[in-house]
């Protein structure tokens, strides 16, 4: 691929080993995907932050990149394995906390803002329509491409770090117009409301895409959707269909730019019921309830505070969110109400990336994405339900 003189200098080591290694990663990717050039990115979101995912090998890579490497663009972080302030109350052991802090220190050394949230678009890392970015975290990639109309491929941990240290990414995939049109039409024939149902819809469409081997759905039949519903949908369709971009008629900004595909799949009540049934295990004994996958918005927290006001939870209950959102909740008085009910805030982390395997038997949550990963990673039984149903279960 063709590099500018500055990019060539990066590759030749003029800016140090970390930048050189970053440009090696990016130019190799560019060659593999036949990119013609590098483009500038507005921001980066890095995933792979929990020490339980990284281990010592990941930490070695980070330390190498942090040795002289400094971010050139706005760069934020995915959730870590623990709440930085409240880890003891969440049952995280000291050894893990020490190692997690080593990871966060390495990112801080590079100048990364330790937002530790999978919803960067809710807390200040907000690209505009058409802007090129380099994000990891499948749910945020899907949201930024589809709902905002920004442009990113689904980056891995190393390629996102490389983009942060150079401000560049190779121009291929979703950065290019011709790769962004819808490939299969999904007509949704049933009304869909609430984060849990949008998660079910994401699984229903994602499962079909998986079978069709196509990745960009064009969805019709949805008359309105909130930010929270779309964030749940994005997380789910990215999990079950590997989707990084969708178009939703009258909802997402690029839907009107592309023709509706001819291949059509109808999503009816039977398909939705089947998808929902697959998100609940039989004979489940629920001892853990969590809200906030992807990380809860201030609107969801305000709703939860109303639902929990004057009640007491009888099971472990986590509210997972980004720390800036938690600060808003503190100021608005929501934190006090929620904690008085016995629920716990787990800022900076979530029920999937926290090291909690073996602690619980069955979990209820409003997120189809969490259902998949909690089952796979912690081997808990799971049940999906709306936030209202989660509160009923938690306060039984
Ligand atoms: Fe975020 Fe964890 Fe869900 S990273 S999308 S809350 S699995």
Judged on CB neighbours under 10 Å (0-12, 13-18, 19+), 187 is: middle
Q: Where are the beta strands (DSSP E) in 1-58?
A: 38-40, 43-46
Residue 215: the pLDDT is 81
Residue 213: the pLDDT is 86
Which residue, 167, 169, 161, is CA-closest to 152?
A: 169
H or E element in which residue 312 lies: none
Residue 156: the pLDDT is 93
**Residue of 48, 79, 119 to test ligand 1 pocket, by largest number of atoms within 8 Å of CB:** 79
* Separation CA 366–CA 390 (nearest Å): 7
The DSSP secondary-structure symbol of 122 reads G
By alpha-carbon position, which residue is closest to atom 2 of ligand 1? 350
Residue 186: the pLDDT is 98
**133-173 pLDDT tens trace:** 999 999 999 999 999 999 999 999 999 999 999 999 999 99
Q: Ligand 1 pocket by C-beta < 6 Å: which residues?
A: 78-79, 118, 139, 235, 293-295, 320, 350, 352-353, 369-370, 373
pTM over 0.85: yes
Residue 331: the pLDDT is 98
How far does the centroid of ligand 1 lie from the alpha carbon of residue 240, in Å?
14
* Mean pLDDT, range 170-194, rounded to an integer: 97
Ligand 1 atom with minimal separation from the 292 CA: 6
Query: What is the rounded average pLDDT for all residues in the chain?
Result: 97
Contacts of 93 (CB under 8 A, 6+ apart): 355
By alpha-carbon position, which residue is closest to atom 1 of ligand 1? 294
* Separation CA 281–CA 293 (nearest Å): 19
By alpha-carbon position, which residue is closest to atom 5 of ligand 1? 294
The yes-or-no verdict on residue 15 having pLDDT over 80 is yes
The yes-or-no verdict on residue 73 having pLDDT over 90 is yes
pLDDT band of residue 19 (cuts 50, 70, 90) is: very high
Residue 241 CA to its chain's centroid (Å): 14
pLDDT band of residue 290 (cuts 50, 70, 90) is: very high
* Separation CA 97–CA 186 (nearest Å): 45
How far does the centroid of ligand 1 lie from the alpha carbon of residue 350, in Å?
6
Instruction: Enter the tokens of residue 24.
Output: 């090696």
Which residue, 137, 136, 139, 134, is CA-closest to 152?
A: 134
CA angle 369, 79, 101 (to 5 degrees): 150
Strands 43-46 and 134-135: parallel
* Mean pLDDT, range 44-56, rounded to an integer: 93
């Amino acid at each position: 691929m063709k590099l500018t003189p500055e990019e060539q200098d990066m590759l030749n080591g003029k800016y140090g080993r970390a930048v050189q290694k970053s440009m090696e990663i990016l130019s190799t990717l560019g060659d593999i995907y036949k990119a013609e050039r590098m483009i500038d990115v507005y921001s980066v979101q890095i995933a792979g932050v929990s020490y339980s995912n990284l281990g010592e090998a990941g930490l070695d890579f980070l330390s190498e990149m942090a040795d002289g490497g400094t971010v050139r663009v706005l760069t934020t972080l995915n959730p870590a394995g623990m709440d930085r302030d409240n880890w003891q109350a969440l049952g995280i052991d000291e050894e893990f906390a020490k190692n997690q802090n080593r990871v966060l220190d390495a990112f801080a050394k590079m100048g990364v803002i330790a937002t530790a949230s999978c919803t960067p678009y809710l807390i200040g890392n907000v690209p505009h329509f058409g802007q090129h970015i380099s994000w990891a975290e499948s749910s945020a990639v899907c949201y930024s491409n589809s709902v905002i109309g920004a442009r990113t491929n689904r980056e891995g941990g190393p390629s996102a770090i490389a983009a942060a240290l150079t401000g560049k990414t190779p121009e291929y995939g979703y950065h290019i117009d011709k790769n962004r049109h819808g490939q299969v039409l999904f007509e949704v024939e049933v009304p869909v409301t609430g984060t849990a149902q949008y998660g079910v819809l994401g699984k229903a469409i994602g499962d079909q895409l998986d079978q069709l081997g196509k990745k960009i759905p064009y969805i019709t039949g949805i008359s309105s959707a909130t930010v929270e519903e779309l964030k749940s949908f994005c997380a789910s369709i990215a999990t079950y269909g590997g989707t990084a971009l969708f178009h939703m008629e009258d909802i997402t900004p690029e839907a009107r730019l592309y023709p509706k595909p001819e291949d059509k799949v109808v999503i009816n009540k039977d398909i939705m019921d089947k998808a929902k049934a697959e998100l609940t295990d039989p004979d489940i004994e629920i001892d853990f309830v969590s809200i906030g996958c992807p990380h809860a918005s201030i609107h969801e927290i305000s709703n939860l505070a109303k639902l929990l006001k004057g009640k007491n939870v009888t099971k472990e209950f986590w509210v997972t969110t980004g720390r800036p959102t938690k600060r808003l909740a503190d100021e608005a008085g929501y934190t006090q109400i929620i904690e008085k009910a016995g629920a716990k805030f787990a800022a900076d982390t979530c029920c999937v990336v926290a090291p909690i395997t073996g602690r619980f038997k069955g979990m209820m949550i409003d997120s189809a994405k969490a259902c998949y990963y909690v089952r796979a990673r912690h081997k808990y039984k799971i049940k999906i339900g709306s936030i209202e149903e989660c509160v009923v279960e938690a306060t039984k």
